[in-house]
A and B are shown apart, each in its own frame.
Chain A
């Protein structure tokens, strides 16, 4: 019997090749999309799970409001580690990271530096904490001595060629500090929080790590709990740290200050923990070691994956039931020949199983071909887990469920046919099920319209960000990194660059208005400095005289730094937000004096000489924060404002000057606009993924509609014949056929507009600076759906309308 079913299924699928193709293709696209998205999501959830005892490792976070706005930090003070060790017997070990950004690295006795992008100081418990083995070197003693470091394999090979002669070698960091290499570790996995780090220096040599200072937060502090301990115990215990450690620290600067006073002034400080494996998807705090993803994008993608599969399954049901007219006779004959219902159900389920299986195979092929493009789109390095039995089990299981889910409705629907009726050839009345088919079409189009709306809104918001007046000019600004490597010649470098014809201006600074990790300082006013609430939290950016001009900031009041005034070194320029936080007007602010080191014996007061218009230096998801500019001669980088023209020539000329000034030092540059764009990469990725999967879902919906239109035309052959005999034109008949579908699409649009509006309003809430959703988005989405629907059904309808009525009426 089973063999017979398979044989019949094969033959009938082959016979209805067009229908089979629509079904298989639709399902295959749905499955392929879902496979890719699932792999992506699986990868996202795999972050940091490869570390030994990952489930017992947690990081300490700080939630601090101390003047200014509340901020959540991924970093805590240096003495946190010792406090944790001494206060909690549940803590098995503690490891701190003090990230140190990029460093120029060279072997001792060589000239040329090679840049390592991410370096960090780390405690020697590192290896045991994360279960990391040394490829060469002694794990028991590594990183215990000051000025020792370990490298990742690829970094070691880059600097030394092979791992053979690395141990004991000396390297220079930033041309000044000498370190001994004491070990090499395997490169850290791409799905770990340490993926970018290549150089790990011994914390033992970093003096700041031993100073008991509860006022500055710079250390990523990880703890490993002893097995069986509940992390909630630690979280409760951490609440006592404010009174026990932090307040005594503050009292050194502000004698007599109590916890109650701080709280009364609206300040707070909480320490909390986050599980290592949760960091990637749920932690987006200040000073994360690497950029993390957002769980929200995972939710959105999951929804899309589910939508795709459901859309494809719906298609399947729709096409199969629609097609049942053709198979009604078969059901009738089989029943009179002795088949009962359950045998027919079995037969149809086997057919849908066969289609599902064919689709699965096609989906795998599609997914394999699409994977490289998807990786690029999603910025991932995902591979097909061919060798994982779990993958195959899930895939086959899911296909089976899909076959049952999408096959059961048509199977039960068809097996219910009554032989007397269907064998008489009663046409449409004998089949029925129209309401369900129509609902399914409405559902498909509602989802498609929803996705079109989402895509439009996401793109508009991205465009808005791109074109928004940021308060400075980010275009044609080239930033040269690591100019400190030129030492005292940095100034000369700047002068010579400024003399180049195509350079408008140049400035030396370590701070640029693109998002990055920066810290605040608390500024207290000279008058009323004892009052907690008068203090404000502000960033300090060290800049030079050309900074404001190069960045194109607008000075609202007062003046820029100027060489003609001799004593600008104790003057600052602040932004509008800073003035607002001070509770002053722009005019009042001029001349006011503030200090960042209140509590020092002889605090240095800065005088406000200018107010610049607010500019966006952070993501547009955040509010603009208070900021001050001060003159500072030490700078990491140089920003060069170029005239429009041939940038590659300009870069070559600047590089020439650089190699004269700083021979052997790498010339490392980027365009400010690129850095700016990188900030919104996550959103852009989301936008691209949206577009692609929206197109896929529309394609699937169209396949379904196309099949349904074919069915509908066939069902109404007789009606069309009669109408033609009575004098209807081809156009009139085509219109009659299309009209029915447009009604469905209209209902779908009515459903999806409010849903789309609500969903996208929620998404936009993430952005402090955002667009209003425009009415035309809905109009456009609706029109697009209507046009697509009309195009899809036209072919079948026109084809049916031009048939000679003699032919269609003869079938009775």
Chain B
């Protein structure tokens, strides 16, 4: 068991009424799964992903990640938890424009205080593995969207997380690039990484092992 959500509620107050973003979500995910979260706009997909990623709070319910009770943790501990175990992939890549590909990859390692030699070898491995050695000194603006997302995924993977959270990772890509990225996810999943993606596309969802459908904050 990697994580388990029990009766998760999340709401905002609007005009004196509670508007539910997440309503009674129950979900458990095992290591090695590849999950797709689907649903129309505003159904709470990204919110759920952010709750799982511990970037966002919830108002009610229990969340256990590995053996920790996330709902009882202080923010700092929660942050340490996600830093250690979770990698994020964004629709808009969110690479840092001022840094080269190599430096973008290196950044999480700097924050986890890896030694310089360790950083070098990990970055080199990653560049090799994604076949982007030739691009290591380019800046993000010099890459195509697909290449940028490749770097984004490599950056998410570099600190060997147990779980990758991807929020519409192919949303900004054309179909061919999108396919390549999905193939990559599939391959990573085969290598043992747990993946949760948010997607609009049935085709992309098909790469996963399980689909979770949301509507107005509820699982259906």
Contact = CB atoms under 8 A, between A and B. Distances in A.
Interface stretch (A326-334, A543-551, A766-774): A326-334
Interface in A331-351: 332-334, 336-340, 343
Contacts of B96: 8, 330, 333-334
A604 interface: no
Given A329-B94, A330-B96, A336 B111 contact: no
Given A8-B98, A15-B97, A340 B79 contact: yes
A381 B106 CA distance: 55
Given A419-B55, A420-B50, A423-B90, A338 B97 contact: no
Contacts of A7: 103
B98 A338 contact: no
A333 B94 contact: yes
A211 interface: no
Interface string A1-27: 100100110011001000000000000
Interface string B88-107: 10101011111100010011
A533 to B, nearest CB: 85
Contact of A1 (B50, B53, B110): B110
A343 B79 CA distance: 14
Interface string B27-44: 000000000000000000
B83 A11 contact: no
Interface string B71-96: 00000100100110000101010111
B159 to A, nearest CB: 7
B45 interface: no
A425 B93 CA distance: 13
Contacts of B159: 338
A11 B99 contact: yes
Contacts of A336: 53, 55, 82, 88
B23 interface: no
Contact of B98 (A15, A337, A339, A423): A15
A338 B112 contact: yes
B110 A4 contact: yes
A333 B106 CA distance: 13
A333 B90 CA distance: 10
Nearest to A4: B110
Nearest to B76: A340
Contacts of A12: 98
A338 B108 contact: yes
B41 to A, nearest CB: 13
A743 to B, nearest CB: 30
Contacts of B155: 337
Q: Number of contact residues on A: which range applies?
A: 20 to 34
Interface residues of B, number: 26
* Residue from B76, B110, B159 having most chain A Cβ neighbours under 10 A: B110
B107 A337 contact: yes
B183 interface: no
A420 B56 contact: yes
Contacts of B107: 4, 334, 337
Nearest to B82: A336
Contact of A420 (B55, B82, B83, B103): B55
Interface in A672-731: none
Contacts of B95: 333
B111 A339 contact: yes
Nearest to B139: A11
Nearest to B152: A333
Contacts of A8: 96, 98-99
Contacts of A420: 50, 55-56
Contacts of B112: 338
A424 to B, nearest CB: 8
A336 B78 CA distance: 12
B92 to A, nearest CB: 8
Contacts of A423: 90, 94
A7 B50 CA distance: 31
Interface string A363-378: 0000000000000000
A11 B111 contact: no
B108 A337 contact: yes
Interface in A402-432: 419-420, 423, 425
A8 B139 CA distance: 13
Contacts of B82: 336
Contact of A338 (B56, B83, B99, B103): B83
Contacts of B90: 423
A368 B218 CA distance: 70
A58 to B, nearest CB: 64
A333 B107 CA distance: 10
B108 A11 contact: no
B76 to A, nearest CB: 8
A15 B141 CA distance: 13
* Residue from A4, A337, A339, A343 having most chain B Cβ neighbours under 10 A: A337
B166 to A, nearest CB: 13
B55 A343 contact: no
Nearest to A339: B111
A31 B159 CA distance: 45
Given A338-B111, A338-B112, A11 B55 contact: no
A342 to B, nearest CB: 11
A8 B97 CA distance: 10
Contacts of A337: 88, 107-108, 111, 155
A423 B89 CA distance: 12
A751 B50 CA distance: 47
A15 B96 CA distance: 12
Contacts of A330: 96, 98
Contacts of A339: 111
Interface in A365-405: none
Nearest to A14: B98
A419 B99 CA distance: 19
Contacts of B76: 340
B152 to A, nearest CB: 10
Interface string A290-333: 00000000000000000000000000000000000000011011
* Residue from A15, A336, A339, A423 having most chain B Cβ neighbours under 10 A: A336
Contacts of B110: 1, 4
Interface string B188-217: 000000000000000000000000000000
Given A11-B99, A420-B50, A420-B56, A343 B111 contact: yes
Nearest to A336: B88
Nearest to B100: A11
Given A12-B98, A337-B108, 16 more contacts: A329-B94, A330-B96, A333-B94, A333-B95, A333-B96, A336-B88, A337-B88, A337-B111, A337-B155, A338-B159, A340-B76, A419-B55, A420-B50, A420-B55, A423-B90, A425-B92
List the 5 shortest-distance A-B pairs measured between CB atoms, nearest first. A338-B111, A11-B98, A338-B83, A337-B108, A333-B94
17 contacts: A8-B98, A8-B99, A15-B97, A15-B98, A330-B98, A332-B94, A333-B95, A334-B96, A334-B107, A336-B55, A336-B82, A337-B107, A338-B108, A343-B111, A419-B55, A420-B50, A425-B92
